[in-house]
Amino acid sequence: MSSEAPDGWTYEDGGKAIVRTFKFKDFSEAFGFLSRVALLAEKVDHHPEFTSVWNRVDFRLTSHDAGGVTERDIKLALKINALAGES
């Protein structure tokens, strides 16, 4: 059984990943946010899967080596929330 996901994130694939969608005013805001997440991902050497359509960014976090969600995914999700202006 998976533990509770960070605010706004939900488990999918039977607990193998956590996902969250962020929406912004426009493409520029969405892409700026995505760029900040990319720099953060490089810094912590943990990289989200993502898709983006105009003002929307969808993230999926999983640890490939572990084949599921680990502490690294939970920590990155919390940092992404913080970048989005959440505590």
- Straight-line distance from the first to the last Cα atom of the chain, in angstroms, rounded to the nearest whole number: 26
**Strand segments (E) across 1-87:** 10-12, 17-23, 49-53, 56-61
Q: Report the residue closest to ligand H2B, judged by CB.
A: 64
Provide the mask over 3-42, with x wherever binding to ligand H2B is found by CB under 6 A and - wherever it is not.
----------------------------------------
Chain residues 38-77 in contact with ligand H2B, contact rule CB under 6 A: 45-47, 62-65
Helix orientation angle between 71-83 and 27-44, rounded to the nearest 10 degrees: 140
Interface contacts to ligand H2B, rule CB under 6 A: 45-47, 62-65
